[in-house]
């Protein structure tokens, strides 16, 4: 068994969309999502710029080129005019055309910028994929060299743009090498695999133990789907009880997974059961289901003399 490591992850960048994590080399046009400043394609250092800045420069240059083209057309119309009447008509018409072009550009600028952003990404998809594959090879090299922290940090960045089952498995393998602490920037939803994976379950158990906020519907769907396999694991039932307790974090999860909660209701800690009672106590008569009835029955028998449960149902 490998020794677990105490690590502190490099802070992840906050971006409004995943593609803003991309950067491109001004020298060769290669792409990367990693932190290092040296281009793996051409070896240049200090030449990377965020792809958002690259596209912003296009958004400045291309409209200017269009404006110059429009001015050139107006000038050509004036030059080709045969008399002052045609010159005046060309000048007035050209001025109106330029004013309309300016107003339309200002009005639709956000949409044009977004379209150009999408257009660049589509046109550059082969180069972007090539860069991400090179980043992935670098992360694999760190894993082979027994540097799981560095590998995970790179895989985490890659995962924002490419998060297939293979990358999930790599990230889980790295995370299983670490002591999981509450102060760590942990992820769970992006790691949920399509098939049963005991290593993922073990990581999820450790992560949920220190941070229930990580539990969302994808994790709950997973434990419900693979409940028999999880329960067969050492400590599996205790973990399922914990996940049932975590489902009480939000009322919508209680409504989505009533059968799962019922099956582990008798084993819920008092604090979690009390929260469940509070969530269900004001349920309208027409919406009361088996979970409500079971919760009410347990509260009136097991906690009949507990003042915190008096008058809840």
Token pair 């379950």 is at which residue? 201
Dig out the tokens for 183 from the structure.
């102060």
More reliable by pLDDT, 71 or 54: 54
User: What stretches of the chain show up as alpha helix (H) in DSSP?
Assistant: 51-79, 84-123, 125-144, 148-159, 165-175, 198-210, 217-225, 227-232, 236-246, 251-256, 258-264, 270-280, 290-301
pLDDT at residue 63 greater than cutoff 90 = no
User: Where is mean pLDDT largest: 56-70, 169-183, 288-302?
Assistant: 169-183
| DSSP designation for 19 | G
| CA 131 – CA 27 distance, rounded (Å) | 14
CB 51 within 8 A of CB 61: no
Confidence of residue 56 (pLDDT cuts 50, 70, 90): confident
- β-pairing, 31-32 vs 23-25, is antiparallel
Dig out the tokens for 60 from the structure.
């400045």
- Tell me what pLDDT residue 222 has: 98
CB 216 within 8 A of CB 189: yes
Dig out the tokens for 49 from the structure.
């710029």
Whole-number Cα distances in Å, 234 to 198, 201, 240: 11, 11, 12
3-state secondary structure of 260: helix
Q: What is the mean pLDDT of residues 98-124?
A: 74
Least confident of 59-73, 116-130, 201-215, 235-249: 59-73
- Please give the full DSSP string across 158-225, using - where no structure is assigned: HHTT---HHHHHHHHHHHTTB---TTS----GGG--SS--HHHHHHHHHHHHH-GGG--HHHHHHHHH
Q: Residue 50: beta bridge partners?
A: 23
% of the chain with per-residue pLDDT over 90: 59
- Name the packing angle between helices 236-246 and 198-210 (round to 10°): 50
- β-pairing, 48-50 vs 31-32, is unpaired
Q: What is the mean pLDDT of residues 88-92?
A: 69
| CA 305 – CA 20 distance, rounded (Å) | 57
Least confident of 9-18, 50-59, 224-233: 50-59
- Tell me what pLDDT residue 128 has: 94
pLDDT at residue 83 greater than cutoff 70 = yes
More reliable by pLDDT, 119 or 246: 246
Phi then psi for residue 233, to 5 deg, are -75, 160
pLDDT in tens, 160-186: 999 999 999 999 999 999 999 999 999
- Tell me what pLDDT residue 107 has: 73
pLDDT in tens, 131-145: 999 999 999 999 999
């Amino acid at each position: 068994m490998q020794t677990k490591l105490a690590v502190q992850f490099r802070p992840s960048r906050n971006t409004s969309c995943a593609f803003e994590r991309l950067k491109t080399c001004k020298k060769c046009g290669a792409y990367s999502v990693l932190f290092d400043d040296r281009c793996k394609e051409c070896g240049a250092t200090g030449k990377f710029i965020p792809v958002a800045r690259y596209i912003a420069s296009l958004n400045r240059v291309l409209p200017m080129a269009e404006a110059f083209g429009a001015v050139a057309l107006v000038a050509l119309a004036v030059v080709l005019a045969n008399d002052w009447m045609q010159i005046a008509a060309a000048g007035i018409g050209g001025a109106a055309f330029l004013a309309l072009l300016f107003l339309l550009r200002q009005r639709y600028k956000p949409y044009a910028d977004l379209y150009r952003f999408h257009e660049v990404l589509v046109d550059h998809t082969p180069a972007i994929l090539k860069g991400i594959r090179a980043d992935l090879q670098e992360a694999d090299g760190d894993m082979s060299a027994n540097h799981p922290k560095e590998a995970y940090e790179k895989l985490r960045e890659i995962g924002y743009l490419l998060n297939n089952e293979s990358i999930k498995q790599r990230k889980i393998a790295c995370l299983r090498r670490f002591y999981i602490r509450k102060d760590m920037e942990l992820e769970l939803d992006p790691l949920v695999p399509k098939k049963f994976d005991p290593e993922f379950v073990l990581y999820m158990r450790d992560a949920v133990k220190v941070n229930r906020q990580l539990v969302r519907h994808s994790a709950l769907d997973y434990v419900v789907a693979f409940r028999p396999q999880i329960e067969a694991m050492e400590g599996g039932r205790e973990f399922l009880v914990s996940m049932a307790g975590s489902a009480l974090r939000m009322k919508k999860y209680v409504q989505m997974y009533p059968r799962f909660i019922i099956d582990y209701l008798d084993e819920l800690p008092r604090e979690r059961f009390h929260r469940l009672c509070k969530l269900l106590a004001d349920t309208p008569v027409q919406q009361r289901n088996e979970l409500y009835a079971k919760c009410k029955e347990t509260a009136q028998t097991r906690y009949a003399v507990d003042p915190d449960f008096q008058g809840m149902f």
